[in-house]
Copies of this chain bind each other. A is one copy, B any other.
Amino acid sequence: MYSLLADLSIVEVSSFVASPTAGLYCAQMGAEVIRVDQIGGGLDYDRYMRTAQGRSLAWENLNRAKKSVALDLKSPEGRELCVELACATGQLITNLPEKSFLSHAAVSVGRPDMVSVRIMGWHDGRQAMDFTVHAASGYPLMTGPAEWDQDTAPPVNQVLPAWDFITGAYCAFALMAALHHRAATGEGSEVRVPLGNVAMGTVANSGAMAEMLYRGADRPRLGNAIWGALGRDFVSRDGKGFMVAVLTPNQWNALVEAFGVAEPIAALEAETGVRFANSDHNRFVHREALFDIVQSAAARQDYAALAERMAAAGATFEHYRTMHEASTDPVLVDENPLFGPSPANPSGLSYPAPRSFANLPGRDAGDPEAAPYLGQHSEEVLAERLGLSSGAIGDLVDRGIVARSDEHDFTPREARAR
């Protein structure tokens, strides 16, 4: 953990992926992130993958390095504590609806400098999740094999919840932008980020919306090929699949050299009357012929030899891994300073723990911290932030408004529900 945000405290009232991710990025930069949950766990406390004991490995990784406060958020008293905590802290990240008890108006009473960041569904208040905004965006009907018939091809959903992760990072940015503004002016901010607008805004920012309107029609299906440039998956003699991307003159020269295809390329240039070295456009238009040339060359060698040649030539490539292979890849994990030693995770399992995506040369990256047990910091936070005495907290615990750590008091949801 770096300490860029060491003086910053944030209350996070979250579930699922986008909202916890925003808090996670701040925590990995040194902020104190206090996640407040329903006693027994919120909607995401049991998200797959779960261990045999029922501990969620998703929750344990999305809430790394945070503190946990457990309150009965169904009770007026628990809600009031949550509102007071957010207000006293001055910074809030949440995905609760604006119409919930945790509105910006509620948390900014007497506190005009309050900064809240709220993740919503659609701009008009309709519900949305990553899966549904993706369906609306158009991407699933552009994904999948090129040979599928355009008119009957089924949608192909993404396994990576990309909209959640873009939204999480964007919300961390928006929070910091609002804090920057507060530092300059003293003003608070209410920031709302609809997940649906992250998707539609990205379609627009990427140029794809302008493309659709300019063409007046959808883009043809491209399968695994890169749009508007040269790149695709190829297969080596020993059956290993790999991706090669060519978007610069250097990448083109590397491709020609690595695959030893200068001759057939020259023949194709003579035949077509175009030059490939300096034009994405020409490489894209003639991609099928170029793909054939590269695939023919790829099929004559094993991957290890090809990879050596591509690396030496300076090509941009990567072989396809399964996720288990990626997770056990020495270069990607063991030798990667992104990962540190396993802290004591709530699951009791040990595995490589990620630091922040960013690294800062000359600064101590520290070791990754574990996610909390649910309620582990209830007493500490209520005492420090709201000035509650241990007697008052004990009373709240006795009355079921506050809960302490579930380290020794955990039951999976199915057992709790019975």
Contacts and interface: CB of A to CB of B under 8 A. Distances in A.
A207 interface: yes
B49 A207 contact: yes
A183 interface: yes
Contact of A247 (B29, B129, B169): B129
A173 B183 contact: no
A58 to B, nearest CB: 3
B361 A127 contact: no
A198 B168 CA distance: 13
B61 A207 contact: yes
A200 interface: yes
Interface stretch (A2-10, A382-390, A391-399, A403-411): A2-10
A11 to B, nearest CB: 18
Given A51-B214, A155-B233, A193-B359, 5 more contacts: A5-B180, A129-B316, A176-B177, A209-B323, A209-B351
A186 to B, nearest CB: 13
Interface in A217-239: 217-219, 222-224, 226-229, 231, 233
Contacts of A231: 131
A222 to B, nearest CB: 8
Number of this chain's copies in the assembly equals 2
Contacts of A358: 117, 170-171, 174, 191-193
Contacts of A245: 129, 131-132
Contacts of A312: none
Contacts of A314: 127
A414 B218 contact: no
A200 B414 CA distance: 32
Contacts of A302: none
A60 to B, nearest CB: 7
Contacts of A208: 49, 323, 327
A260 interface: no
A200 B337 CA distance: 11
B49 A210 contact: yes
Given A50-B281, A413-B279, A160 B158 contact: yes
A291 interface: no
A99 interface: no
Interface in A99-133: 104, 117, 121, 123-124, 126-129, 131-133
A171 B360 CA distance: 13
A262 interface: no
Contacts of A241: 135, 154-155
Contact of A62 (B161, B170, B192, B206): B206
26 contacts: A5-B180, A57-B211, A62-B205, A62-B206, A124-B331, A127-B315, A128-B318, A129-B247, A138-B327, A139-B159, A161-B206, A173-B176, A174-B358, A191-B360, A198-B357, A204-B352, A204-B353, A210-B349, A210-B351, A212-B326, A212-B328, A213-B327, A217-B324, A275-B417, A278-B417, A282-B414
Residue with the highest number of chain B CB atoms closer than 10 Å, among A61, A355, A413: A61
A147 to B, nearest CB: 11
Contacts of A155: 224, 233, 241, 243, 320
Interface string A14-40: 001100010011100100000000000
Interface string A263-285: 00000000000110011111010
A167 to B, nearest CB: 8
Contacts of A259: none
B360 A189 contact: yes
A321 B201 contact: no
A160 to B, nearest CB: 5
Contacts of A131: 226, 231, 243, 245
B156 A139 contact: no
Residue with the highest number of chain B CB atoms closer than 10 Å, among A242, A278, A324: A324
A354 interface: yes
